[in-house]
Structure 1
Amino acid sequence: MSLSPAFLDELRARTSLSALIGKTTKLQKAGREMRGCCPFHNEKSPSFYVNDDKGFYHCFGCSAHGDAIRWMTDQRGLPFIDAVKELAQAAGMEMPAMDRQSAARAERAKGLHEAMDEAAAWFVEQLHGLGGVDARKLLDRRGITAETARQFGIGFAPDSRGRLKAALKDFGEPMLVETGMLIQVEGKEPYDRFRGRLMIPIRDQRGRVIAFGGRILDQGEPKYLNSPDTPLFDKGRTLYNLDRAAPAARKANRLLVVEGYMDVIALAQAGIAEAVAPLGTALTEHQLERLWRMVEVPVLCFDGDAAGQKAAIRAAHRALPLLQPGRSLRFVTLPEGQDPDDLVKAKGAGAMEALLRDAQPLVDRLWQSEVAAEPLDTPEQRAGLKRRLNELAGTIADPGVKHEYLAEFRRRADEQVRPQRAPFQPFKRGKQPWRPPAPVTEDAKKVRATGIDRVLAKAVLAGLIRHPAEIARHVEVLGSLKLADGALGRLFEAVVDVALEDAHRARPRGDGAAAAAAALDSARLVTILARSGFEGIASDLLRADTMPYTFTQKSGDEERARADLDEAIAILIARPEVDAQLAEATSAMMARFTDEAFERQVSLVKEKQALDARLANLVQANEDARSLGPEGN
């Protein structure tokens, strides 16, 4: 079928846009236009305008804009060709002629739709007849009102192998087999597929019945029975309640995905109309694409049992390759053993709304699942975590989203295996950052003066010059560090002196050390140091990009660099004291072996190894940042 521009223009000209939109949105005259509250977002003051002369609508609040066809696709959720067909029918226009094969398929589909409509009506009739008593009792037990049952077209299939076939005999057995309403077994008469079940019609985006889901009334298997795939129904592409949920989702800017029909129906009865459900299968790529056409971040609300949570993770993995900027998923974890139907019946819609407000982002759900997959006690297990996370991120097709996931997973993995340390705190007068306890021996005091790791000290100095605001946070502990001799030691003292002098000048203004730190940028610090003869060594340090730390690099994540510099200073201060105490403990044990002396030595060895591991983590953090490319540096 070919739709020419002339045909589409004529269709738009024959369609009263205000009348079309006015069916679902209240409009009032505003000069030459019509005005109302926008159906695409929640608002109290009308900013949505419809212009019949020009044939378009526009919202000044959310920028929604389009013509009659766009209204049908965006607000009603119809495919383009279905939108055109429906508008053409309303305007009395004939669709362009189809080729013979397409015409035959369309005629066949028309007959199938009519058969399904007749079946739906017959099931409703049976529900309200004498034979539907048990089905009506089931609805009562489930708390489904008569009005809700009517809105969703719920019916009843009697426990008979031939009553539906007899009721729909005019359509012929072959067509009823094709719709899935009859089962054909070779050599036997076709018989009714649905027997003794509560019948829930499944509709397409246009609201036409295309299949059924049947729930058994008592005990038995299967509990739910769906129609098979037919020319009208593809369960992997269909979402239950999409026709009703689509307009509600666009208005609420929210779409929920639950596991079953009854969850959808219970939520709608509780006032949450924007819910859909897959049809007995895991969410497919086609279903995800349909969800994203309505909202950018659907919320998955699967059952709180193990099976429901596994289904959520499967959906998360399936969504990863399809992610795009702004397009993702969120997850609600329901109480153990409950589904949305149970929750709203027990605690009302407010309980569901509370869970929705705290919906978990996709990245959090993936991280949580992988961290819980196995212990993280050994290097091999931690490496396994990083490998699994990298493999997950590697499935994302969009390069920008993939980059962000790789960076986020690496950051979290690094924090997971890194020993816990005090969180970043801005400098406040009277509240200093962490510093180690004072040495307990004279030997340790001597090591503090002479045993500083000069390589790490050089890197810390470079970091302080690149991030002068950090000097004020550590001014007290840095002031107590004394390198034995050389230009490096003198530069350390000069950097501390500059920070103290700057803080002193700030205090009369009442700004405190924090204000001074903010004013002291890297270029100004180098200029001040140059006046004292340190220009050469300071410049050399700033050129030292070969140092393996984030805080010595010219650019990168500022917050991460500051946190890593904080960690490096803690290691720089702690390491000499641990070395000194370890030397003393070793000497004591060699002089007189005791269990207590041995345990102390082992404890200090572990402390030293922990410091080495923390330092290695800083090096790894820099390698991770470099691996992310220019944006990570």
Structure 2
Amino acid sequence: MAIESGFLDELRARTPLFSVVGRRVKLARSGRNWKGCCPFHGEKTPSFYVYDDHFHCFGCGVHGDVISFVMQMEGKSFPEAVEELASAAGLDVPKDTRRSQEEVAHTRSLGDVLDLVQEIWAAALYTSAGRAGLDYLLGRGLTHDTIRSFGLGWAGDGRGSLTTALAAKGVTPHMMAEAGLMRLDEDGQPKGELFWGRVTFPIRDRKGRLVSFGGRILGDGQPKYLNGPETALFSKRRLLFGLDRARAAVRAPRPKGAPVTDLVVVEGYMDVIALHQAGFGGAVAPLGTALTPEQLDVLWQVDRAPVLCFDGDSAGRRAAARAAETALPLLKDERSLRLCLLPDGEDPDSLVRTRGAQAVADLFASASPLSDVLFDLLAGGISNPGPEERAALRRKLVEAAALIPEKTLGAEYRSTLLDRFFETFRRKKGAGFGGKPSLGGGGSSRVPQNTQSSHVDPVRERQRILLALLLRYPELVQEAEEALCRLSLPDDYSDLRAMLLDLSAEGLLPEDGKTLLDVLAGREEEALAHSVLTEGPLPLNLEEKDTSLAVAIRTQWWHFYGLLNFGQFQKEVEQEVARFAQDGADMAEWKRLQPRLEALAALRRGETGE
């Protein structure tokens, strides 16, 4: 069975070798790589090393990639190993047909076309026609060696010149279109060259094979930068400019005491080239798109914690926030990010030219882990927020941490984010919870809105019951915390919620409601808490309960939460059940889920509990 090389390359790229090996061999970090005891011969001292794209044992000499590892470990044939890995990666193995073989040959021919174009454009840069392009590159501080090393070129000013040059070598307009060099009309026919009057940048895959071009126009034309379209060779979502060079630089052996080469993501071609010229060989850039999940996977195969470098202005911060949101669902213990923001008005290219390489090195060294900067990105620079803004931000922080699929890591992020939240927005009213009462003495004269009217708002009454249950049974706060943050509450109730959450975060929640009221004595929240508890009855079946957290009490809380927010509640429970089913039986988790399931079932039966 012959399988096209393009598919095998994608399969290897989508299947991290260390994760496949790690399911069978206990691995430990060794610099940027992994090591363990060889599974193919008995040894007590680890000599089996796992790299980005291959493994090697210095004891017995066994060597191979992810496919050969599965073949040797499980005794599978090559097609069987490919099928197993493809299934795990969500890929379909292409059928071995004559047509697929022809497609492989055709793909190779497209690569040949691009190589011809590269020769033409690189030579044109050093002719009189390309003088403007060469002057531009030299004016940006690039040397002739760098220009030639990256294969920069010039696409002529006159449309049709490339078509004529390639026709002499047997390349048709249709082949040019398939290689991403010509536009197509509405009928799918070639209608004009894509690149002209531009400095050209060859785009290569991770193995260094030419797959497309980018171009920068000189003058006021638009678009300023242009990338080739998606083709059989080129996918913008999966590639990064400069990856072939960066991958080699990051993984290259380094002399003892030499600094580690960081994998750094910057914005554009010129940033990458300028950084490489200045000695930062790990620089790469997306190809005209925001960072994609596929590109993050590629980055993590090279470096477990690449640096993302963004402009320091508001647009750069928004881009950083988008990148963080893309990364969160993909994070694992061995996958993280570091972020740094450039000085205002600077990009890596200008920073190298104006402040020197050391300033850039210092900037990259100052990059902070994602866990440290995520709060600032999500908070968006807000200060002195009101109750609604505090609740909205807290909800956003909790939801961001919930995106992380690994529960332990997600819990750590949640804890870190909420710690920052309370440090940054600690309530200023009165003294701290462990200090003296505020000068108001008996508390606020604030009275809940519906005490002024005999009419009872059913929504507000349900909100009151939720808060009253938490005041009477404070142990419930921690379980209900995330759901509580998602509720939209009026100002007075929002203040009470913030107080409960603050107490919980600071570990000051008592075990029973009476003690909680003692904690609030003399504070302005005391009157509000008292009115919430006495303004109306609690559900009858709870009036005589003691303060233990019985299932019935928890079920009632979730029941009233569902009455206020049924659609969201139903979605949350279904997601929790799906996670429970996926992670396997855990009685503690089941006991935590049980009250929510009972509440949801009652709501579906139409029971209000009121």
TM range (shorter): 0.5 to 0.7
Give the SS at the match of 1:368.
helix
Cα deviation for residue 549 of structure 1 reads 8.4
CA contact (8 A) 2:317 2:377 kept: no
Distance in 1 between residues matched to 2:68 and 2:198, nearest whole Å: 35
Cα deviation for residue 609 of structure 1 reads 2.8
CA contact (8 A) 1:245 1:275 kept: yes
Matched, 1:116 2:114: yes
Match of 2:74 in 1: none
Q: Which runs of 5+ in 2 are unaligned?
A: 9-29, 57-61, 70-77, 83-94, 253-259, 442-471, 477-502, 530-557, 559-575, 577-586, 590-610
Distance in 1 between residues matched to 2:386 and 2:352, nearest whole Å: 44
| Residue correspondence of structure 1 range 56-135 to structure 2 within 5 A | 65-66=55-56, 68-70=63-65, 98-135=96-133
Matched to 2:358, the amino acid is G
Give the SS at the match of 2:202.
strand
Match of 2:276 in 1: 268
| Residue correspondence of structure 1 range 247-258 to structure 2 within 5 A | 247-251=248-252, 252=260, 254-258=262-266
Which of 158, 161, 167 matches 2:159? Answer: 161
Give the SS at the match of 1:106.
helix
The TM-score normalised by the length of structure 1 is: 0.56
Deviations 1:17-72 (A, max 9, x none): xxxxxxxxxxxxxxxxxxxxxxx8499xxx99xx9xx9xxx986987542553499
Matched, 1:355 2:350: no
CA contact (8 A) 1:177 1:190 kept: no
Cα 1:140–1:317 change in 2 (3 A) is: same
Pairs aligned (count) = 414
Give the SS at the match of 1:164.
helix
Distance in 1 between residues matched to 2:361 and 2:475, nearest whole Å: 45
Matched to 1:349, the amino acid is A
Cα 1:562–1:180 change in 2 (3 A) is: closer
The structure with the largest helix share of the pair is: 1
Give the SS at the match of 1:201.
strand
CA contact (8 A) 1:41 1:253 kept: no
CA RMSD of aligned residues (A): 4.9
Which aligned segments of 4 or more residues in structure 1 are displaced greater than 6 angstroms?
A: 58-63, 71-74, 434-437, 560-563, 565-568, 610-614, 627-631
Matched, 1:237 2:245: no
Matched to 1:151, the amino acid is S
Distance in 1 between residues matched to 2:277 and 2:265, nearest whole Å: 16
Give the SS at the match of 1:318.
helix
Give the SS at the match of 1:326.
coil
Matched to 1:222, the amino acid is P
Match of 2:141 in 1: 143
Distance in 1 between residues matched to 2:192 and 2:221, nearest whole Å: 20
CA contact (8 A) 1:165 1:182 kept: no
Matched to 1:348, the amino acid is G
Match of 1:196 in 2: 197
Cα deviation for residue 132 of structure 1 reads 1.4
Give the SS at the match of 2:298.
helix
Distance in 2 between residues matched to 1:407 and 1:148, nearest whole Å: 47
Cα deviation for residue 352 of structure 1 reads 1.2
Distance in 2 between residues matched to 1:562 and 1:613, nearest whole Å: 21
Task: Tell which structure's C-alpha radius of gyration is larger.
Answer: 1
Cα deviation for residue 128 of structure 1 reads 1.1
Cα deviation for residue 375 of structure 1 reads 4.6
Distance in 2 between residues matched to 1:220 and 1:260, nearest whole Å: 18
Identity, in percent, stands at: 39
Cα 1:2–1:363 change in 2 (3 A) is: same
Distance in 1 between residues matched to 2:124 and 2:202, nearest whole Å: 14
Matched to 1:609, the amino acid is E
Match of 1:344 in 2: 352
Which of 377, 388, 396 matches 1:380? Answer: 388
Distance in 2 between residues matched to 1:377 and 1:129, nearest whole Å: 61
Distance in 2 between residues matched to 1:333 and 1:62, nearest whole Å: 35
Cα deviation for residue 134 of structure 1 reads 0.9
Give the SS at the match of 2:417.
helix
CA contact (8 A) 2:174 2:190 kept: no
Give the SS at the match of 1:332.
strand
Distance in 1 between residues matched to 2:155 and 2:422, nearest whole Å: 58
Deviations 1:74-114 (A, max 9, x none): 9xxxxx99xx9xxxxxxxxxxxx953122111100010000
Matched, 1:309 2:310: no
Q: Which runs of 5+ in 1 are unaligned?
A: 9-39, 75-79, 85-96, 422-433, 445-545, 551-559, 580-607, 615-626
Matched to 2:269, the amino acid is Y
Distance in 1 between residues matched to 2:352 and 2:218, nearest whole Å: 22
Match of 1:609 in 2: 524
Cα deviation for residue 310 of structure 1 reads 1.6
Cα 1:630–1:415 change in 2 (3 A) is: farther
Matched, 1:418 2:426: yes
Deviations 1:272-299 (A, max 9, x none): 0001110101111111111111111111
Cα 1:210–1:292 change in 2 (3 A) is: same
Cα deviation for residue 312 of structure 1 reads 1.4
